Chain A
Amino acid sequence: MTPTIDQTFAGRSVLVTGHTGFKGSWLSLWLHSMGAKVAGFSDQLPTDPCAFELCSQAPDFGAGDHRGEISDLAAVKAAMEKSQPSVVFHLAAQPIVRAGFSDPYTTFATNVMGTAAVLEACRMMPSVEAVVVVTSDKVYDNTGSPWAFRETDRLGGHEPYGASKAAAEIVAMTYQSAGFHGAAGSLSTPRIATARAGNVIGGGDWAADRLIPDFVRAIAEGRDQKIRQPRATRPWQHVLEPIGGYLLLAHALLSSPETTPEAINFGPIEATMPDVEEVATLFLDAAGATKTKLIVDEDKNAGEAKTLRVDSSLAGQILGWTPSWTAREAIARTADWYRAHLDGSNDLRELSLAQLADYRRATPVAALKG
């Protein structure tokens, strides 16, 4: 029998950086539901409303709900001293590609120095056994090769967000090196792996410039919503898919550190993806939006339409990870969540836990079942 992640995380101390974010909230909710002792470290609530307020909630963080800049080493250290984590999930970041263009400096400072601060604090913290550093599928040097990116492909970056995440990968490489720890006199040498996933959808995301949140705002305000690239496809995936991957990765770092890769992709494996127009139509339909119409205003000059894909074979081979929900199922769950929110439901936490339970029933990955 494969040990389940419940056995790994029940009673374990875990620190989630970026715990107030969209992914961080779902990860914390899942950890909490397995009986982990969860602490969080974030600068602020990312949006109003946000998933943290609606479904995760401060009392989950029995081991501390810490606030501070992720690049502030002293603050990160203090949070770790208090929570004594065994596992650290590093998600805190400036996560928006477009924000990288308006504020490149902060993007680099947060994503590169934030990672350095977390890993620096970890090497002085004997309690820490495993660290999962969440980067992005945009860390690869996009050479225009027809293949989906594999972990061995070259890192690169032609815009601040991707470059900062690729730089975070390189920072992690240093802290993965035994030679470095020996020479630097580290008190602790936790196992570190980076996780490269792409855009995800799911309830509780209100970030600017993302398709589903844009539609949620339009529905809430009763106005129409334009799309500019109806034929573009994105690797639509539910937020629980990569989060299950992060949990499996931490579980592997603890149980079989020697055979766990240092970087791993988590992307969709579906052969076909609905395009933007279909996603928008499915979403509006499933969300029961009657006042909001989809306006297709195609921008023929847009250069961003190319689909970026990662090859997730390694996650399948090494971790036994595979996604569970199709893009269409992910859209349906996401729409259910926002519909409940728009209808004024005040128990989105209950709904989120129900969706998590559904996910854990549906997944073919034995270790994630619960």
Chain B
Amino acid sequence: MTVLITGASGFIGSWLTLRLADAGQNVTAQMRRAPSALFEQLGLCEHANVDVVVEPSMESVLTATQPETLYHLAGMSQVGEALRSPAVAMEANGRATWLLFEALRQMEVPPNTVIASTDSIYGETSGQAATEDFPTNALGPYEVSKLMADTAARSYAWVFGLPVTVARLGNVYGPHDANGARIVPSIVSAVSQGNRPVLRGGGRAVRSLLYVEDCIKALRLLAEKAGADGVQGEAFNLSGDPPMTTLQIARHTLDAFGFADVDPEIIEGAPGETSEKFSSPQKAERVLGWRPETPFEDGIKSVYSAWKEAQ
């Protein structure tokens, strides 16, 4: 079994590479730049089943590899970066995806394909868990660029019959996530340096969090069934359940790190500042039989153990 992962050097990409390679699959790990610290730390550069390809052109890697399965994770993953360079975000997340699909369309046996989208395309969900048929309502450059990829992927599936499916990911967290702009790493970073975590919007912002191992299980199921009825051309929310406020996230993180007596610094903002964005994973449960299994209390303990070990 040959698998191609684009953006294999990223947080989810690295963990997915490890799990697939350990399961005996031959993984071609495409990345634009040299391997990330996490990718190296997981021993993936030396892994017998991993072929590291540093090459910006995903199409040429795809054509050369002729994989049976494709996970398209490459793109600009930081909301802040997309705000600074919207045009680059649209290129990297939008255009790059349909160029890849054009190459896919030319293949004799196109691979089963999963692309990583985001559940932030729904925008503010006003206290309700967005289902996949919820109107998409977010106009930030990151969200729009991901929505372009999401829609293009489903279009190629429906119009050209390609075995493609879309994973709308919630906030995926796990050990060794270095991206300090994401919610869990930002709290972990404050807490591990002995600082009080700062929570804006009264700590009432709400997110779905998904443990990286649960995420990988779902991605693998989607890849397996990408050509099946009810999966091909469909989008699936992969998000943790139940959604949590940043205050709850901070409390469990402080507990796991042994700082149960530290209070967060809560900044009350204007009423509009509290953001509620979360989605329901019920469709994935119904169609794939997948459910997030790791409670946040347990997932954050693994993050702590990994952090402790790295000290």
Contacts and interface: CB of A to CB of B under 8 A. Distances in A.
Nearest to B202: A146
Contacts of A311: 251
Interface string B94-105: 000000000000
A62 B145 CA distance: 67
B127 A146 contact: no
A257 interface: no
A272 B127 contact: yes
B206 A146 contact: no
Contacts of A147: 247, 251, 263
Interface stretch (B48-56, B59-67, B214-222, B238-246): B238-246
Nearest to B244: A271
Nearest to B249: A271
A315 B203 CA distance: 23
B231 to A, nearest CB: 25
A313 interface: yes
Nearest to A145: B263
B278 interface: yes
A284 to B, nearest CB: 18
A271 B246 CA distance: 9
A146 B276 contact: no
A270 interface: yes
A148 B248 CA distance: 9
A273 B127 CA distance: 7
A230 interface: no
B169 to A, nearest CB: 18
Please tell me the size bucket of the interface on B: 10 to 19
Most chain B CB within 10 A, of A145, A269, A272, A311, is at A272
Interface in B135-180: none
Nearest to A274: B127
B73 to A, nearest CB: 28
B266 A271 contact: no
B297 A313 contact: yes
Interface SS majority for chain A: loop
A250 to B, nearest CB: 25
B201 interface: no
Contacts of A273: 127
Interface in B194-243: 203-204, 206, 242-243
Contacts of B203: 146
A271 B251 contact: no
A185 B297 CA distance: 44
Contact of B242 (A148, A269, A328): A269
B185 interface: no
A271 B203 CA distance: 11
B242 A146 contact: no
A271 B263 contact: no
B86 interface: no
B148 to A, nearest CB: 29
Contacts of A328: 128
B119 to A, nearest CB: 15
Interface string B270-282: 0000001010000
Given A146-B203, A146-B263, A271 B243 contact: yes
Interface in A145-188: 145-148
Nearest to A147: B251
A271 B264 contact: no
Nearest to B128: A328
Interface in A214-242: none
Nearest to A233: B204
A271 B278 contact: yes
19 contacts: A145-B263, A146-B203, A146-B247, A146-B263, A147-B251, A147-B263, A148-B251, A271-B206, A271-B242, A271-B243, A271-B244, A271-B248, A272-B127, A272-B204, A272-B276, A274-B127, A311-B251, A313-B297, A328-B128
Given A146-B203, A146-B266, A272-B206, 10 more contacts: A146-B247, A146-B264, A147-B251, A147-B263, A148-B248, A271-B276, A272-B243, A272-B245, A311-B251, A328-B128
Interface of A: 145-148, 269-274, 311, 313, 328
**Closest 4 A/B residue pairs (Cβ):** A272-B127, A271-B206, A271-B243, A271-B245
Interface of B: 127-128, 203-204, 206, 242-245, 247-248, 251, 263-264, 266, 276, 278, 297
